[in-house]
A and B are shown apart, each in its own frame.
Chain A
């Protein structure tokens, strides 16, 4: 019974956690990763959005 309740909680929360993680991944990739091509392409937006750049 408690395993069932537990799996219900997990499956209820899972979509929110998944969306949050994908969002965090996008922000990390577009805003923080320093690979040269990514940095140059996103340069102006990174500055304008206030991410630490360079």
Chain B
């Protein structure tokens, strides 16, 4: 069983990591590099004359972007292991897992690990003001745990006690609130920060859908040959 989980998760996670890295390098990295020009002081918001919105940005950087590809693959293998562990457990209890249903699993993973934390702690461009890192990490993990449990209760719970608990678990992290800084001091224009958050979430949704699809596909294939 463990080998089956490992095989499905490694294949699905590694392929997804490469696709996610490509999406990030094309769509997210230019926004991040643009923000770093403000973070480093090469450009200034409200300067006279105003800074161009289309500065020259570095192209593909082998070492920096190579490391990003490596870590993207690693992170999606990690996500893949968590997703396939949940899928396999559900399959053992009678759920049908295939590529099409896998997409729904992937979107649920996106909501639990990307979207729910981002709802109160949006993806940050470099240079933004932020609260204490450890406090944000604790809130991030708590939100992920609460949201994942809530989604599982919606998907597999029976009746209103389970669904009511799910709603409370999904709402609680945001009612409690994420740690935010006492004052805002980010040098990066809001236009760039907004685009960064949207792009980070969009690539995340695409990548998680692909992860779910591939995890479902490989799980079914492994089950057929086993």
Q: Which residues of A contact B (CB under 8 A)?
A: 12-20, 22-27, 30-32, 34, 41-42, 44-54
Contact = CB atoms under 8 A, between A and B. Distances in A.
**B interface, over-half SS:** helix
B203 interface: yes
Task: Give me the 4 closest cross-chain CB pairs, A-B, nearest first.
Answer: A26-B78, A23-B81, A23-B82, A52-B136
Nearest to A40: B67
Interface in B111-132: 114, 117-118, 121-126, 130
Interface size range on B against A: 35 or more
B137 A52 contact: yes
Nearest to B3: A15
B34 to A, nearest CB: 13
26 contacts: A12-B92, A15-B1, A15-B88, A16-B88, A17-B85, A19-B81, A19-B84, A20-B85, A23-B83, A24-B82, A27-B75, A30-B75, A41-B70, A44-B64, A45-B21, A47-B28, A47-B126, A48-B68, A49-B123, A50-B118, A50-B124, A52-B121, A52-B124, A53-B133, A54-B130, A54-B133
Given A48-B203, A53-B133, 11 more contacts: A15-B1, A19-B5, A23-B78, A24-B82, A26-B77, A41-B70, A41-B71, A45-B72, A49-B200, A52-B133, A53-B124
